[in-house]
Amino acid sequence: MTRRLFLLAPLLALLAAAAAAAGFRPAPLFGADVRSLVFDPSEPDRAFAGTSAGHVYRSDDGGESWRNAGIEVPFPGWVVGSLLFDPNRPERLWAGMWGIWGGGLVAFSDDRGASWTVRTAGLADGDQVYALAPVPGAPDRLYAGTRSGVWGSDDAGASWRLLSGGVADLVHVSSLLVDSSDPSRVIAGTWRRAYRSDDGGATWRGIFEGMVLDTELFAMRPIPGRAGELWAATCGWVYRGERLGEKWTRSTTGFEERRVPSFDVLSPERLLAGTVAGLHLSTDGGASFRRVGPRELAVLALAHHPARPERVLVGTEGAGVWLSRDGGETLSARPVAKVNVRVPALAAAGDAVFAAIAHAGPLSGVYRSPDGGVSFEPQPARLPTVLDLATHEGRLFAATEKGLFESSGGEWRQVAELGESRVEQLVAGDGRLVARARDGIAEWVAGRFVRRAERGTGASSVALARGALWLLGGDGLRRIGADGSTSASSVPFPGGGFAAAGETLVYAGAGGLYLHDPSHGWVELARERSRAVTTGHRRFPAVAQMGGGLFLVDRERARLVPLAPPFAAVELLSALAVGDRLLLGSSGYGLWETALPD
């Protein structure tokens, strides 16, 4: 699995080149799921960020702006959970990763992320790599914390051996810390407690005093100038360690959330704790903390340069990198990664394009582009997690996890008729608007939504086409005419889903891909397992995913047109045809556009 996934990197680079040649380009939506951050020790203005989608980004101005360090996605399918510079080779940047579908990866770059060399031979198959630790003074010595334990390499990662096999509970190693004053001493933070070796990993013992059982140690940071003292960020607040972990003291005062994935020590008195509900700052050596910045930020990574401790980088879940220029007192979002956001829904009204961004903390919501997707306004309309978008009668509607919302003139209000129930789908067409909620169907009538629960019970998908409302459910496909008449229609196989635009119905699922023609019934386009995403275009009504590819459905010629966007086909979430252009929204790879076929 490791070898196959890594070989996707040059393949994705070729796909990106082909996509560029075909006109695919990213739309300017900013954000990123940042899992690791590091400053270059030799240059205070140079920093790197790793994401959950395999990106590595670089900043040359202290985190003010960011760009790709090398190719667009050097590690597709991998979460770049660790980035660190080698103290013995200042030019070497190490990366530790775990695979979205399993497995682990270790790689290094000697040209600041422009290219990478993989060093995973010998690690257990399917073993995720959660942490890395080079050993000061030993140029080829390296530790890796993995799901199975602590591994060691004495040849710069060319080969590995398991060091912790004799300790049954020393598994799921989330963090590692090598004592800079005595490199033979190393602490391994696991999903339950901490262990220490004083002989380079040959033997291990538990260091449990003061630490609650079942405490996962996400990060460990030494206190500069105080030998043997450190801080540990855990799933249950933070701990101060004495004598290199021989004794632990928990700190909880002032925290608004107990889960702390990241930690940084700016000075013995000034500490930063990144929680899943905001960044917390201590100015009294950890006696107390207070939240700074938005509570919606899930802070997964922190970094600063020793020469400039007032400048702090904050890596977040979905909201990219935030920057503090005053030691954590205030934060500002920095534009990172045009292609590392989740775009679950798209809609258009005239020249305006609307894109929903999900799971990006305070950057989540609905973004507006006044020029058809060429540029987007910097701030979103803040809403609960958006699942679908539609425009109707000059209004924009958003289906969310907590009800339906309507915008007219830029002001949003919650649609009272549907309450706060989850609304999963919106369809507009033929002068009608229909919402499919978890508890039934509702239609826009005379300026308000009227429930049609008796007709929507059990519907997994709805569509408006040929002057009728179509409902797909466990009892098959039903057609509801404008006059309220109901009729049943067969489908090629059970358990599929469908998309519609204008006069067209597209049916997709385990049995293949079918196009419905009013005169000839269902026409088979492919027999391979597939799914279809609506585009809203009459001739090209859907984008179909089959296997590893994406295809545009051409209704007029009953054929499939291959597409090659620079992301895996399975990541497609949304699609929208705007004029002669096609927009594709992805899960973690942003929003891309290309020209529709002539």
* Distance, CA of 561 to CA of 598 (rounded, Å): 11
Average pLDDT over residues 147-153: 96
In contact, 302 and 314? CB cutoff 8 Å: yes
**Average pLDDT for the chain:** 90
On the question of pLDDT at 221 being above 70, the answer is yes
Asked if 230 and 268 touch (Cβ cutoff 8 Å), the reply is no
Q: Are 77 and 100 in contact (CB under 8 A)?
A: yes
Q: Where are the alpha helices (DSSP H) in 262-306?
A: none
> Residue 170 has what pLDDT?
96
Specify which residues 279 forms β-bridges with.
274, 292
What mean pLDDT do residues 555-565 have? 92
Overall average pLDDT of the 548-553 stretch: 94
* DSSP strand pairing (468-473 vs 205-206): unpaired
Q: Residue length, the chain?
A: 598
Question: In what helix (H) or strand (E) does residue 422 lie, and over which residues does it extend?
Answer: none
Task: Tell me what the mean pLDDT of segment 331-339 comes to.
Answer: 80
| Interatomic CA distance for residues 227 and 544, integer angstroms | 59
Q: Write down the pLDDT at residue 338.
A: 65
Share of the chain above pLDDT 70, in %: 95
Distance of alpha carbon 215 from alpha carbon 178, whole angstroms: 20
Residue 503 has pLDDT above 50, yes or no: yes
Residue written as token pair 């031979």: 121
| Per-residue pLDDT at 18 | 42
pLDDT at 546 over 90: yes
Give percent helix, percent strand, percent coil of the chain, each to the nearest 5: 5, 50, 45
Average pLDDT over residues 220-244: 96
For 504-527, the pLDDT digits (tens) are 899 999 999 999 877 778 999 999
Q: How confident is the model at residue 22 (pLDDT cuts 50, 70, 90)?
A: low
CB 47 within 8 A of CB 39: yes
Alpha-helical (H) ranges within 194-319 are: none
Distance CA 436, CA 434 (A): 7
CA dist 480 to 350, 430, 470, Å? 29, 14, 6
HSE-up of residue 329 (Cα within 13 Å, Cβ side): 6
Cα distances from 205 to residues 185, 245, 272, in angstroms, run 12, 11, 29
Q: In this predicted model, which residue has the larger pLDDT, 40 or 455? A: 40
For the ranges 200-214, 250-264, 408-422, the lowest mean pLDDT is seen at: 408-422
280-334 per-position pLDDT tens digit: 999 999 999 999 999 999 999 999 999 999 999 999 998 999 999 999 999 999 8
CA of 31: how far to CAs of 66, 336, 482, in Å? 11, 6, 43
Closest CA to 41 of 322, 225, 303, 274: 303
Q: Distance between CA atoms of 321 and 323, rounded to whole angstroms?
A: 7
CATH code of 383-490, in short, is 2.120.10.80
Structure tokens at 573: 């979430």
Each domain of the chain, given as residue ranges in start order, spans 383-490
Instruction: Give the distance from CA 359 to its chain's centroid.
Output: 8
Check whether 180 has a pLDDT greater than 70.
yes
Choose among 80, 259, 237, 104: nearest CA to 173.
Answer: 104
The reported pLDDT for the residue numbered 489 is 83
Q: How confident is the model at residue 100 (pLDDT cuts 50, 70, 90)?
A: confident
The pLDDT value recorded for residue 345 is: 97
Closest CA to 143 of 127, 128, 160: 160
**Dihedral angle computed from the Cα positions of residues 37, 41, 44 and 48, in that order, rounded to the nearest 10 degrees:** -30
Kindly report, residue by residue over 268-280, the tens digit of the pLDDT: 999 999 999 999 9
Most confident of 136-140, 150-154, 419-423, 474-478: 150-154
- Distance, CA of 70 to CA of 476 (rounded, Å): 50
DSSP calls for 435-483: EEETTEEEEEETTEEEE-HHHHTTEEEEEEETTEEEEEETTEEEEEETT
Residue 207, phi-psi category: left (phi > 0), alpha (psi -120 to 50), beta (remainder)? beta
**Percentage with pLDDT > 90 across the chain:** 69
The string of DSSP codes covering 99-165 is ETTS-EEEEEESSTTSS-EE--TTSPTT--EEEEEEETTEEEEEEEEETTEEEEESSTTSS-EES-T
Output the pLDDT for position 13.
41
Q: Are 343 and 357 within 8 A, CB to CB?
A: yes
Q: Which of 451, 456, 493, 452 is nearest to 472 (CA)?
A: 456
H/E element, 184: none
Residue 126 CA to residue 147 CA, distance in Å, equals 9
Please give the pLDDT value at position 17: 41
Entry pTM: 0.82
Which residue in this structure is represented by tokens 């549907």?
Answer: 418
What gap in Å lies between CA 227 and CA 249, rounded to an integer?
17
